[in-house]
Structure 1
Amino acid sequence: MKTFALLLAIEVFPVAADDQPLAVSPQRFLMGIYYPSIANLVTRADFQVAINVWLEEFSDPLQLSPSRAILFEDMDSLKQAFVAGELDFIMAPPLLLAKHIDRSLLADGFVGTASDGTEYGMVLITRRDAGVQTLAQMRGKVLMLPKNDILAATFLDMLSLKTYRQHFRQVFKEIHTKKRESAVVLALFFKQADVGLSNAEVFNLMIELNPQLQQSLAVLAKFPTKSPNYGYFHSDFPVHVRQAITEKVKELNQQPRPQQVLQALRMVSLVPNAVDNLTVFDSLLDEYRSLETGVKP
């Protein structure tokens, strides 16, 4: 689920009435969010209103002013603003962060953990009756992809380059997209496609709710991640304010109201996320570029 941004924005700053301000002096806090990664979850207008109302309400006790979230439609604009120091926190799919953001600009942030205790990840799935028991049997099949998912496309392309020395668009007979991962899973179940990609947490939840899916679908490959989106502070953001926010985030996991939100999103908690967790995506990109060398586009 692409829910980390909304949860962080809504719940990162609550303080009890008797809490003391955690920032030494008024401190700007501007979040930059890559909107396409959450567009399937919430409309832009609803998200913008909700996030800014909550940020405004909870920023006073922490002496964060101004504080607001800025939604970006493309990674280049988000990168430009972050590099220029116009943002204090960035949230985007980890593959995009690894690809576009200099590691020296990032400081440890947060991610949401799945309620079933597993990492979110990406799974390549197929119908058991589609005749695809291995990656080498995907040629000529019908593919269903989640829309606006850079990790799904890159992961599949890497597998295709490994297996066929061709990009996946040259391998499949037809390629379609769905707005939500759940729709991808259902498309396979109802024989509208032979192969698809889904967030692992969504896939596991659907199997839990409908055991028939497990009888009909199988996992061909998987790529683990902590969350669909990673959030990091700018390295220039004051350390003492980062620490203050970090302490409040730790308290969220023990408070009834945040727990209700987490449970509704099938998440257990918000947990610290080290910059080093992007290393696995560096490796994915390196392997992908290596495989792509000499392959016709």
Structure 2
Amino acid sequence: MAKITSKNHIFNTKLLFRKKNINYDNIMDTNISIKSILMKKSLIIIFFFTCLFGEQKYNYIGNAGFITGGNLLSIFKEGRVALKTWVEELIKEDNGKVIVNFYEENGTMYEDLKRKKLDMIVVDAPFFFKNREDIYKNAKDFWSLDIGKEKYSTYYLIGNKQKNLKGFKNLNNKTLVMRKNDDLGTIWLDKNSYEKNKKGANKLLKNIYYESKESSVILRVFFGKSDYAVVKKSVWDTMFELNPSIKNKVEIIEKSKVGQIDSIGFFSKDCDPKIVDAVFRIKENINNNKDFKKISKMLNYTTIYRITEDDYKDLIIYYNNYYALKEKYN
């Protein structure tokens, strides 16, 4: 693999960011600003392509697709622009090229993969499981991300202790808050509502509020502005660590039983094997470069890993049941 002179890249990147009016230091100091796991995954996916094409010695072009507002790329605009700029500038000096394409919809992006306009895409999990039979015909080498110690996400239904709430059976005329664009949380909420009430949650709840920041979701319940909230275990654990008094007013009422995968990446069946091999060597490449390793540690990234049906067989059953319930009761 070709080596990158890290000091020159960092210097050039700072100059490039100044030209584009992007604050380099703010971008690098993300331990405070990037708190959501989805945001970290977004940065890591883009960062992968720095390693993949920035360190490749092969002369070829790769096209990658990402969803701008879904489970993966829920990031601040400046962060997305900065990372995209960094990737493109790094690979130019290494005689490689990657075109990062952002899409509004999973379906449109997937169609472009089928038309061979894209080599690799990352789709939200609900889209994957709803369309997996067709995806199997057009894709290969499936993978996902591991953030910290978690490969799978757990969801909690939490509630305000003072309101004596009973969980999914007790949604009628109540209020609930959740993170904006949290498709996995919405599906978990609706699936349980279909099973307990034979109705979708939106037909029972008085109001559903959406917050951009996951911490605001819990605080809304803490201050009594919402009865319930749907949050990830990781978010709850972080908030409790920062403020243990949370448990004085907020309780965990329900926990998800099936571990969730936020997003699934895969390659076109016609994708150059060199690109596929390079992606799965990313962890090794990061460990061999101190600057990449530093960023990896900052993002709390552990590994990219291959997945097969054995890894998500419980999720196949989960989503099949959900779509069957949705069709039955809608």
TM-score normalised by length of structure 2? 0.76
Partner-residue secondary structure (3-state), 1:272: strand
What do residues 219-264 of structure 1 show as CA deviations (whole Å, max 9, x unaligned)? 4122554653332222321223311331133332565433433343
Q: Could you tell me which residue of structure 1 aligns to residue 64 of structure 2?
A: 31
Measured after TM superposition, the shift of residue 71 of structure 1 is: 0.5
Distance 1:254 1:198 in 2: 36
How far residue 50 of structure 1 moved from its aligned partner, in angstroms, is: 2.4
Change (3 A) 1:104 1:225: farther
Q: 1:106 aligns with which of 139, 144, 147?
A: 139
Larger relative contact order (C-alpha < 8 A, sep ≥ 6)?
1
Identity of aligned residues (%): 15
Which residue is equivalent to 2:43? 6
Report the CA distance between 1:126 and its aligned residue. Answer: 1.9
Structure 2 residue 246 is the aligned partner of structure 1 residue 213: yes
Indicate which of 186, 199, 205 corresponds to 1:172: 205
Unpaired segments ≥5 residues, structure 2: 1-36
Larger deviation, residues 113-122 vs 129-138: 113-122
Is the aligned partner of 1:89 residue 2:89?
no
Q: Secondary structure at the match of 2:110?
A: helix
Pick from 156, 167, 174: which aligns with 2:189?
156
Match of 1:288 in 2: 322
8 Å contact from structure 1 (residues 93, 229) kept in 2: yes
Structure 1 gap segments, 5+ residues each: none
Question: Do 2:169 and 2:196's aligned partners in 1 also have CA atoms closer than 8 Å?
Answer: yes
Provide the aligned length of Structure 1 versus Structure 2.
Answer: 287
Distance 1:186 1:112 in 2: 28
CA apart distance, 1:52: 4.2
Residue 301 (structure 2) pairs with residue 264 (structure 1): no
Structure 1 residue 167, shift from structure 2 partner: 0.7
Alpha-carbon distance between aligned partners in 1 of 2:211 and 2:186, rounded to the nearest angstrom: 13
Residue type of the alignment partner of 2:124: P
* In 1, Cα distance between equivalents of 2:103 and 2:317: 26
Q: Which residue identity is paired with 1:240?
A: K
Which protein has the bigger helix share? 2
Letter of the structure 1 residue corresponding to residue 268 of structure 2? H
1:191 equivalenced with 2:231 (yes/no): no
TM-score by length of 1: 0.84
Distance 1:280 1:27, change over 3 A: farther
Give secondary structure in 2 for the equivalent of 1:36: coil
